[in-house]
Structure 1
């Protein structure tokens, strides 16, 4: 789940959204209203919404705001599974807006287009100057189109090809041609210096469809969100053990997210100064953050706690930094080092001030379970209620904390989760309660 600034705008109902989309440009005060209308219409999948979106994308306008709204409308139609939109959407494959073409190609994959003429037009992008051949290869992989395997293999070997295109090519060769030796190449891509390339590698591993890469993936210096997405996508069997890999052990490892178990990459010019290391926790590259925590743990821990507390007010307005700060607090707590303000910090992070999907909520639940068992138990009804705790990772985390408690207590509370909508939460609840 991703944040979107339009989530903070007043809600628009279906009728108002449709009326905005039907309004001529001359009558629209702000062109951004089109995007806003499309965004909110995504919440109302129905025939009427589909017709309004289809009518909207048929019009042309060179204004950037209109183009962005059109791309979003095509994406929404694809997410609706609107098969009747395929032909209309495909008409934009030759558009001069590459971003629109990318959205079109992605949407045709999402809609599982099987029209041979349209597929041939998609294939032709591999032979032209096109900025995003990665999305073309991903689409052909998703649709099971094997006719361009030779071209894809050529791209995978071309020294001028970007890592993103190479990774997608490896995934295609694995999935479409059974070339499992390319799994080694994909594993290597998890250790590329550029974080975006590592992110792309996760999607390529998902597309390749091989569970065997999971042990390497969960140790990679990446956000746990990407890892959980991969586990959820790759684990198609309703069993806990598959290919000698234990599903729950994999999830547990990602949820705990102990930096000492992450295979971090070396970073050039990396200071070993305490102030520098704390500053690195604000970095957007997870590798630098994990690497910093490993170095921080080499210092006297009371000094680390002091520096964390001194920078907390700055960190708490940066949700990325919060995640790593709270994880260091968690590691210090494991060594029985904390102060009275830690519980206040946990309360702040678990409050309704933050959406449930924020990464740090899971760590805050873990700290609460160690720091104040009574508060933790009192919150179990809240943690097990999907209307209050919609992100499955947080419900799973509550169970993970519960697992180490007294047997009569953990059995009692685990039963609250046995009918959870997410299979991983149900698996964990069953493991604890039996």
Structure 2
């Protein structure tokens, strides 16, 4: 599990425990029991687990304490604290559905084969106003097949995230995939959270045939790359897939051009450049991709300066907008953006990891040879997406040095990418779209 974000708070383990153990009257102005409970998920020690368990046992009824209790249960799940299992099971009867949700999830993380516990979880599917998706996922993860008849009632649920989880779990339990195309169709749902969550459902049941559709789903590349990689790892290990089966889709997601996506939104009329740039700040990446496409088609000659201004005034602090602006500056071949792209390439903030990959691609699009040494530096990182993007751009800039550096990379995808390039001799950047064709595309 990626725990880079667990230790963002300037607290030691001892300080977090001390804050979590305080009563409301003892808290200082800058103390937060919620932050303390979240922070302790990064410390797999008896002291942290005991503190979190004490917080779960604190049933004081204020909203603030209920929220802290939920987060403490979640942190115990992250820590896979088996000694807390019975305590967490007691929370399944809580009146607060969010506490129940976190308890179910935590039990799934800790793991159990106790049929009494599993049946208690399954019974929650008969209880109104519960978080059914998490319940279904946990029952699937713990392979509790006696819950099947209860799960069947959710396959036509109005909430498509619940229907998606139910359909995928039925396939997992029975092997009947007749309804799985419906889950694939959810990848084009207008609601972004449906698109994101059904990717996880497809991954959970190793539905390999969905890889092409996942690649063109208009959600953040983080969700698509994670999904494709997880499916590839299992499929290749089982001999069902080869790297060549997933490589074209990885290439397209890393490049992440809107022409390669199925866009789920549209404009009635062509919006202004100002409106389009504001759309890049949307949390629904489907809208961001539509805005990106609009800028490339309609404002190619004037967008560069406006994007630079947006980046320096506001987008530098918004990791979603920053990602899209960095990509656009590369596709626009806006050479004054070179310093901004280099800055993005070296940004160490975890929230801006996508922007580093975008900058690597953008520098290849910009075509300036001076970027070669900077891109070679990327091969020293542990971020596979960044290395993959750097390989694409290094070759586009006429440098094969990255391939030698990557030949013995610790990441299997990078190794496989190098092996494929050597075997085929086909330049990988030729797999990317032709921008001149895109400029003339009036769709």
TM-score over 0.5 (shorter chain): yes
What is the number of equivalent residue pairs in this alignment?
418
Residues in 2 aligned to 1:195 and 1:87: alpha-carbon distance in whole angstroms: 36
Q: Any residues of structure 2 matched to 1:314-325 within 5 Å, and which? A: 314-325=314-325
Question: Would the alpha carbon gap of residues 74 and 150 (structure 1) be closer, same or farther in structure 2, given more than 3 Å must change?
Answer: same
1:211-248, Cα deviation, whole Å (9 max, x unpaired): 11010111111110110121232223484984476233
Question: Would the alpha carbon gap of residues 412 and 67 (structure 1) be closer, same or farther in structure 2, given more than 3 Å must change?
Answer: same
Given candidates 401, 409, 415, the residue that maps to 1:409 is: 401
Correspondence for 1:398: 390
Moved over 6 A (4+): none
1:372 to 2:361 alignment = no
Correspondence for 1:107: 106
Residues in 2 aligned to 1:3 and 1:408: alpha-carbon distance in whole angstroms: 32
Correspondence for 1:327: 327
Residues in 1 aligned to 2:151 and 2:47: alpha-carbon distance in whole angstroms: 40
Correspondence for 1:383: 378
Decide whether the 8 Å contact of 1:410 with 1:432 is kept in 2. Answer: no
Decide whether the 8 Å contact of 1:411 with 1:433 is kept in 2. Answer: no
Residues in 1 aligned to 2:149 and 2:235: alpha-carbon distance in whole angstroms: 36
1:77 to 2:76 alignment = yes
What's the CA shift for 1:384? 2.8
Correspondence for 1:425: 414
Residues in 2 aligned to 1:289 and 1:93: alpha-carbon distance in whole angstroms: 40
Question: Would the alpha carbon gap of residues 236 and 351 (structure 1) be closer, same or farther in structure 2, given more than 3 Å must change?
Answer: closer
Tell me the secondary structure at the aligned position of residue 90 of structure 1: helix
Correspondence for 1:301: 300
Decide whether the 8 Å contact of 1:137 with 1:169 is kept in 2. Answer: yes
1:343 to 2:338 alignment = yes
1:402-423, Cα deviation, whole Å (9 max, x unpaired): 34465752443324xx242x33
Q: Bigger shift: 306-315 or 149-158?
A: 306-315
1:36-84, Cα deviation, whole Å (9 max, x unpaired): 3223322221233223322332222223332222222222222222222
What's the CA shift for 1:284? 2.4
Q: Bigger shift: 126-135 or 230-239?
A: 230-239
Residues in 1 aligned to 2:397 and 2:277: alpha-carbon distance in whole angstroms: 33
1:43 to 2:38 alignment = no
Given candidates 203, 210, 226, the residue that maps to 1:229 is: 226
Residues in 2 aligned to 1:302 and 1:24: alpha-carbon distance in whole angstroms: 60
Residues in 2 aligned to 1:225 and 1:342: alpha-carbon distance in whole angstroms: 24
Q: Bigger shift: 183-192 or 281-290?
A: 281-290
Decide whether the 8 Å contact of 1:357 with 1:391 is kept in 2. Answer: no
Q: Any residues of structure 2 matched to 1:29-428 within 5 Å, and which? A: 29=28, 33-158=32-157, 161-237=158-234, 239=236, 242-243=240-241, 246-267=245-266, 269-299=268-298, 301-309=300-308, 311-312=310-311, 313-333=313-333, 338-339=334-335, 341-352=336-347, 354-355=349-350, 357-369=352-364, 370-378=366-374, 380=376, 382-385=377-380, 389-404=381-396, 406=398, 409-415=401-407, 418-420=408-410, 422-428=411-417
Decide whether the 8 Å contact of 2:154 with 2:163 is kept in 1. Answer: yes
Decide whether the 8 Å contact of 1:220 with 1:262 is kept in 2. Answer: yes
TM-score by length of 1: 0.86
Unaligned runs of 5+ in 2: 424-443
Residues in 1 aligned to 2:4 and 2:278: alpha-carbon distance in whole angstroms: 25
TM-score by length of 2: 0.85
Q: Bigger shift: 163-172 or 27-36?
A: 27-36
Unaligned runs of 5+ in 1: none
Question: Would the alpha carbon gap of residues 77 and 366 (structure 1) be closer, same or farther in structure 2, given more than 3 Å must change?
Answer: same
